[in-house]
Amino acid sequence: MSERETPRQDDGHEAELIAAEAIGDVIEHWGFRRVLGRVWTILFIAAEPLPAAVIGERLSLSAGAVSMSLTELQRWGVVRRVFKPGERKEYFEAETDFWKMISKVFDERERLLAESVRARLERAVTMLEARPRLPGAEQRADRVRRLLSFVIVAETALDGFIRSRRVDFSPFGDLIRFPLRVATRKRRA
Amino acid sequence: MSERETPRQDDGHEAELIAAEAIGDVIEHWGFRRVLGRVWTILFIAAEPLPAAVIGERLSLSAGAVSMSLTELQRWGVVRRVFKPGERKEYFEAETDFWKMISKVFDERERLLAESVRARLERAVTMLEARPRLPGAEQRADRVRRLLSFVIVAETALDGFIRSRRVDFSPFGDLIRFPLRVATRKRRA
DNA sequence: ATGAACTTTCAAAAGATTTTGAAGGTGCAG
DNA sequence: CTGCACCTTCAAAATCTTTTGAAAGTTCAT
């Protein structure tokens, strides 16, 4: 950013940066910009509202990048702006209820796509039905209908899944300290 | 690709292209290249093995792009190479069991990331525990532990979800024709 | 009203990803 | 063995995304 000063993270924040990178990767993997995950994590770990400048320092980001990230995180409802009485500058804090975050993001993110995908697949079915004499058209229409059914089933199922989790965990407060069963995991990068 | 020939899709494949774009968007949204979704969709709708060249024509892709897409789709186990006896060229067909596809992709895709994320968060906790005198270190360690628990819980839950769906639907054969309940949807893009 | 302390915006630069197409396989028929 | 038809590779080019930093905008204290 300026003149080759070692990224100086011997200020007691190495651990946070490691965690921030890890969560940044997760978030990127789920289709967001990595920096959003990093910023959110810094706020989450801090456990108290921080001003934009502090975030920029810890993550070595320009003021502009921090500002944009915070704006976007607020749009997703996972970071809140906090006004401290008697303070000029603004503070930001992380939402801490994970399932609330996830369902909100899910809602926002998927609704439009799901609708547009449904509409387009329906259109494709209609088009294929309109020319039943085209060789294979009926078979192809079948395939597209199947795609459509699957999209709807998956959508409904996922939605139910997220809903049910929210209910499962909220009784424990917004803290999830119990890995319940840590068994058969899966997945990768 | 060559000389401004109208993308000529009056060959009876407009509907497939519309569906392919729709699924391409879904796939892109889930973190893959859009072209992978488009290629898979063409194969899926065709309902019979197609040679690479046909895919390229329908989607107006260069031979190179088709080849790379097919290779990648095979890596993910969602497209298979089919040798037709007595035919020189190779054919490709789409896997049609959606849940099988999803769980396979899930496995492949998440396992490494999940492991690396767990390791990094554990490291962060250890680092914070190592300097208990640093102001706030204990509180921060707590936050990181929480993140870690959540990652594990979410991982396990999602895994179970995918597993259970597979069981739910496989009895119906590889065709999902019953939207069972088409109710409360959600999501967007 | 002025200016200090911050924040936001946005166009340009940097960086990353995707696509292309030409060169180089591969395998088979003749 | 040669030529044809097809497939794969890969470096360069095109395209898309992200980051930067300077300028403009806010907000408040004085």
Claim to verify: residue B90 and residue B41 sit in the same structural domain? yes
**What confidence tier does B13 reach under pLDDT thresholds 50, 70, 90?**
confident
Burial letters B95-134, b for 16+ CB under 10 A, else e: bbbbbbbbbebbbbbbbebbebbbebbbbbbebbeeeeee
Condensed to tens digits (0 to 9), the pLDDT of residues B85-129 reads 777 789 999 999 888 888 888 888 888 889 999 999 999 999 999
pLDDT at A63: 92
pLDDT at A154: 85
Last residue of a domain, one of B94, B126, B142: B94
Report yes or no on B189 lying in a domain.
Answer: no
Residue numbers in B near A154 (CB within 8 A): 98
Residue numbers in A near B136 (CB within 8 A): 47
Claim to verify: residue B88 and residue B19 sit in the same structural domain? yes
Mean pLDDT to the nearest integer, B36-50: 95
Claim to verify: residue A88 and residue A35 sit in the same structural domain? yes
| B60 or B157, which is more confident | B60
Please tell me whether any atom of strand D lies within 7 Å of the Cβ of B53.
Answer: yes
Query: Distance between CA atoms of B60 and A189, rounded to whole angstroms?
Result: 30
Claim to verify: residue B55 and residue B102 sit in the same structural domain? no
Report yes or no on A58 lying in a domain.
Answer: yes
- For strand C, which nucleotides have at least one atom less than 7 Å from a protein CB? 5-10, 17-23, 27-29
Which chain A residue is nearest to residue B140, measuring alpha carbons?
A45
- Chain A residues 47-106, Cβ below 7 A from strand D: 60-65, 68, 88
Claim to verify: residue B49 and residue B70 sit in the same structural domain? yes
Q: Which domain holds residue A84?
A: 14-94
pLDDT at A169: 57
Claim to verify: residue A21 and residue A81 sit in the same structural domain? yes
Report yes or no on A5 lying in a domain.
Answer: no
pLDDT at A11: 61
Tell me the average pLDDT of chain A: 81
Claim to verify: residue B105 and residue B168 sit in the same structural domain? yes
pLDDT at B48: 92
Claim to verify: residue A109 and residue A168 sit in the same structural domain? yes
Report yes or no on B85 lying in a domain.
Answer: yes
Tally of domains within chain A = 2
pLDDT at B169: 56
| B172 or B185, which is more confident | B172
Report yes or no on B4 lying in a domain.
Answer: no
Residue numbers in A near B38 (CB within 8 A): none
Last residue of a domain, one of A60, A94, A128: A94
Determine contact: B19 vs chain A, CB below 8 A: yes
Please tell me whether any atom of strand C lies within 7 Å of the Cβ of A153.
Answer: no
Residue numbers in A near B122 (CB within 8 A): none
Claim to verify: residue A104 and residue A156 sit in the same structural domain? yes
Report yes or no on A131 lying in a domain.
Answer: yes
Claim to verify: residue B39 and residue B82 sit in the same structural domain? yes
Determine contact: A179 vs chain B, CB below 8 A: yes
**What confidence tier does B31 reach under pLDDT thresholds 50, 70, 90?**
confident
Given a cut of 90, is residue B63 above it in pLDDT? yes
Claim to verify: residue A67 and residue A21 sit in the same structural domain? yes
Domain holding A86: CATH number?
1.10.10.10
Length of chain A: 189
Last residue of a domain, one of B76, B94, B112: B94
Report yes or no on A3 lying in a domain.
Answer: no
Distance (Å) from the C-alpha of residue B167 to the closest C-alpha of chain A? 13
Distance (Å) from the C-alpha of residue A86 to the closest C-alpha of chain B? 24
**Would you write out chain A's pLDDT as a tens digit for each of its 189 residues?**
333 333 444 466 889 999 999 999 999 988 899 999 999 999 999 999 999 999 999 999 999 999 999 999 999 999 999 988 777 789 999 999 888 888 888 888 888 889 999 999 999 999 999 988 888 889 999 999 999 999 998 888 888 888 887 766 544 444 444 333 333 333 332
Claim to verify: residue A86 and residue A104 sit in the same structural domain? no
Q: What secondary structure, in 3-state letters, does chain A show?
A: CCCCCCCCCCCCCHHHHHHHHHHHHHHHHCCCCHHHHHHHHHHHHHCCCEEHHHHHHHHCCCHHHHHHHHHHHHHCCCEEEECCCCCCCCEEEECCCHHHHHHHHHHHHHHHHHHHHHHHHHHHHHHHHHCCCCCCHHHHHHHHHHHHHHHHHHHHHHHHHHHHHHHHHHHHCCCCCCCCCCCCCCCEC
Report yes or no on B66 lying in a domain.
Answer: yes
